Amino acid sequence: MSSTNNSAVKSAAETQQQVRNSLARRYRAERRFRFYGFAAVTAGIAFVVFLFGTIFAQGLSVFQQSYVKLEVFYDPETIDPAGNRDPDDLVVADYQALVRAALREEFPQVEGRPNLRELYGLMSSAASIELQRAVTANPDLIGQRQTLWLLADDTIDMVLKGNVSRQAREDERRLSDQQIGWLNALEQRGDLDLRFNRSFFSNGDSRDPEQAGVRGALIGSLLTLLITLLLSFPIGVGAAVYLEEFAPRNRLTDVIEVNINNLAAVPSIVFGLLGLAVFIGFFGMPRSAPLVGGFVLTLLTLPTIIIASRAALKAVPPSIREAALGMGASRLQMVGHHVLPLALPGMLTGAIIGMARALGESAPLLMIGMVAFIVEVPQGIVDPATALPVQVFLWSDLPERGFVERTSGAIIVLLLFLLLMNATAVWLRNKFEKRW
Amino acid sequence: MSDSAASVDSLKTKVPAKTIGDITVPSPVFSCRDVDVFYGDKHAIKKVNIDIARQQVLAMIGPSGCGKSTFLRCLNRMNDTIVGARVEGQITLDGQDIHEKRQDVVQLRARVGMVFQKPNPFPKTIYENVAYGPRIHGLAANRGELDDIVNQSLRRAGLWEEVKDRLNQPGTSLSGGQQQRLCIARTIAVNPEVILMDEPCSALDPIATARIEDLIDELRESYAICIVTHSMQQAARVSQRTAYFHLGDLVEVGETNKIFTNPQAKLTEDYITGRFG
């Protein structure tokens, strides 16, 4: 009797023992889960460190560039033979001759056409452009001597940065032994040095690595994103407010909701094709223009912003709406005075995600021609331009050794841009967030 | 739990066909005739007839889900905001049908203020909470007038002494009872004719509740007040008339002391003596 009783009703000690056994199992499961989580985070951090390490190791050198110190004589015979200081003549004058003359002065012992050609190869063609700019800005320089740091060729730059070894066999590098000798001589005299790379931040794209800069792509990205933000945030928030607060709940709004969610998952290149067909094909807007890029990226970011904004609106407590309506506020007043301010931080989060995605997009921009080789820095939203991710894509494809560091450099600039943009948005969000 | 549900179900059949007691009062502010409310297919309020008197507190009592809050929300058309809710029948405010096309719902809500179950001050300063109504309705010509309205409303809500030094602090920094009085101040700032209160004390402690009840008693002199409450003691303390709702029916309505001392309907008696609910 008592034994059946025992089996049916467990003693307290037995129950406690069972709980203790299950406890150990539960704690084991928790420890295991923690270990998985920790391992995943560690692996993630390791990859990020590796990625950033590679990018910075390859890209940081782009912020310095090899310059050669030359004493330039602005020879009136060469650049202004007529002597009338005519601006039209000054623009087209032969400034390369000035650079060559300065180089011959630096190495007077070099003779013979092939040797001289090698000597001239030390300098970038940008050197003569700089002289031209200086003279057209200040014609009084003509007849004077000036000591200048002028841009060296990228082959020199690569050797100086150690990317190409001086000890390598002659047929394995683009510099001849003779050029390496001049390079060493210049370096000993202190006339060849790594200086801050101005042209990387002031130039557009170029076929010469030493002249190629990110300014064109940076401005292009800036203009494109400006248009994207100006269009997608108001339209996205407006659409979300209408759908969430005003639209009737019926089949049509259900269909719209499903479609917005689907649009968020559409591959970005499809948006590029749409932009090509509609904006360029149908409306005849210019190719490669930040304006069209902004339109396309707006289409791309709108679903993200609408979805985030609707979620933010849904999260506003209904009691606030009731309070406002109960006070006799109209629907628009309820939304404008109470719901929107509370939902704004969430909407800004959506905008951050959308804009960050837009900044990193290259595929849709390829479709609308923002992949073109554009040297000029864009001055407005209809000028041909390219964008930072597209610039990275373009440079990564080029064979010259100098473009490797430029690719990484452009990625660094892109990351800094992203960081700056997100920091601004987070700051704005925190400013609007009311914690009460 | 299941017991009480069963007993409520068994009581269903005992609902009298017609409301017992005096549904009419002389010169009512609200007059409701044959009011039906549907939530989709659910018939939440069934043919309710009741008048609401001026300068008086009407308490609505009844078990949970009996439709008292639903009925209260008919009076300022807050049910309009609920998808699938449908109100039928006639509700007149000062002789005018509130469902008429000409009746603007914004204006209606300015005339019929509402205090909710959970204190719901706006996430703005105390001052802005009270100033909001006058501001959207354009009741103050300048800042001075607005200051006066805010000052007076807070005084009448018995909150002035506690908040006069911190009008620029958020309304949500106040205690629960203070928040509810702030909501009442916000409501009376637009000078309504009727104040609807939906269980205004259910989230408050006894001391805060007592203050609100005193306040209701004072406000009665200027406004008609409808209060939904779960506390029969509260109904007995603050109201002059009481209406007992049961599963969407208005079972009995009459003077509060009559309802509590000598209820006519069996259901009312069972409820107030605590046999269910």
Note whether A324 contacts B: Cβ–Cβ < 8 A: yes
In a domain, A210, yes or no: no
Looking at residue A267, its pLDDT comes to 93
Contacts of A378 (CB under 8 A, 6+ apart): A216, A219, A220, A223, A290, A384, A385
Looking at residue A1, its pLDDT comes to 44
A341 to chain B: closest CA residue:
B123
Which residue type, as a one-letter code, is found at position B75? L
What tens digit of pLDDT does each residue of B138-175 get?
988 899 999 999 999 999 888 999 998 999 999 988 99
* Distance from C-alpha of A321 to C-alpha of B120, rounded to nearest angstrom: 10
Contact check, Cβ <8 Å, B190/A327: yes
Looking at residue A243, its pLDDT comes to 93
Query: Are A273 and A321 contained in the same domain?
Result: yes
Query: Are A295 and A348 contained in the same domain?
Result: yes
Domain limit, last residue, from A144, A172, A202: A202
Between chain A and chain B, the number of residue pairs with CB atoms below 8 A apart is 65
Domain limit, last residue, from A202, A227, A259: A202
Cβ atoms of residues B146 and B140 within 8 Å: yes
Query: Are A335 and A385 contained in the same domain?
Result: yes
Query: Are A270 and A389 contained in the same domain?
Result: yes
Higher-confidence residue of A355 and B64: namely A355
Cβ atoms of residues A253 and A420 within 8 Å: no
Looking at residue A254, its pLDDT comes to 92
* Distance from C-alpha of B268 to C-alpha of B253, rounded to nearest angstrom: 10
Long-range residue pairs from B267-276, CB within 8 A, at least 24 positions apart, any chain: B267/B11, B267/B14, B267/B15, B267/B16, B268/B20, B268/B244, B270/B11, B271/B61, B271/B62, B271/B63, B271/B244, B271/B246, B272/B61, B272/B232, B272/B244, B275/B7, B276/B4, B276/B7, B276/B8, B276/B11, B276/B63
Considering only the beta carbons, identify the residue of A323, A328, A434 that sits closest to B120: A323
**Confidence band (pLDDT; 50, 70, 90) for B14?**
low
- On the question of pLDDT at B6 being above 50, the answer is no
Query: Are A118 and A194 contained in the same domain?
Result: yes
Q: Please give, one letter per residue, the 3-state secondary structure of A56-110.
A: HHHHHHHHEEEEEEEEEECCHHHHCCCCCCCHHHHHHCCHHHHHHHHHHHHCCCC
Higher-confidence residue of A282 and B102: namely A282
* Unique residue bearing structure tokens 């105390």: B126
Which residue from A341, A342, A359, A351 is spatially nearest to A425, judged by alpha carbons? Answer: A351
Contact check, Cβ <8 Å, B109/A321: no
What CATH number does the domain located at B55-79+101-242+252-272 have?
3.40.50.300
Query: Are A149 and A252 contained in the same domain?
Result: no
Residue extents of the structural domains in chain B? 55-79+101-242+252-272
Query: Are A148 and A237 contained in the same domain?
Result: no
In a domain, A117, yes or no: yes
What tens digit of pLDDT does each residue of A189-210 get?
888 989 999 889 999 999 999 9
Query: Are A176 and A242 contained in the same domain?
Result: no
Q: Report the mean per-residue pLDDT for chain A.
A: 90
Q: How many domains does chain A have?
A: 3
Contact check, Cβ <8 Å, B113/A330: no
**Confidence band (pLDDT; 50, 70, 90) for B270?**
confident
Query: Are A96 and A46 contained in the same domain?
Result: no
Contact check, Cβ <8 Å, B136/A333: yes
A336 to chain B: closest CA residue:
B136
CA–CA min distance B170, chain A (Å): 7
A246 to chain B: closest CA residue:
B81
**Confidence band (pLDDT; 50, 70, 90) for B17?**
low
In a domain, A226, yes or no: yes
CA–CA min distance A323, chain B (Å): 6
CA–CA min distance A253, chain B (Å): 14
Q: Report the mean per-residue pLDDT for chain B.
A: 87
Query: Are A395 and A270 contained in the same domain?
Result: yes
Chain A residue numbers with beta carbons less than 8 Å from the beta carbon of B197 are none
* Distance from C-alpha of B99 to C-alpha of A201, rounded to nearest angstrom: 68
Higher-confidence residue of B83 and B34: namely B34
Note whether B172 contacts A: Cβ–Cβ < 8 A: yes
Query: Are A152 and A165 contained in the same domain?
Result: yes
Looking at residue A7, its pLDDT comes to 56
Note whether B1 contacts A: Cβ–Cβ < 8 A: no
Tokens of A59: 């890209």
Note whether A329 contacts B: Cβ–Cβ < 8 A: yes
Domain limit, last residue, from A172, A202, A232: A202
Q: By residue range, what is the domain housing residue A388?
A: 215-432
- Identify the segments of chain A with pLDDT beneath 70: 1-8, 434-436
Looking at residue A77, its pLDDT comes to 86
* Distance from C-alpha of B220 to C-alpha of B235, rounded to nearest angstrom: 14
Looking at residue A3, its pLDDT comes to 47
Query: Are A136 and A273 contained in the same domain?
Result: no
Contact check, Cβ <8 Å, B78/A325: yes
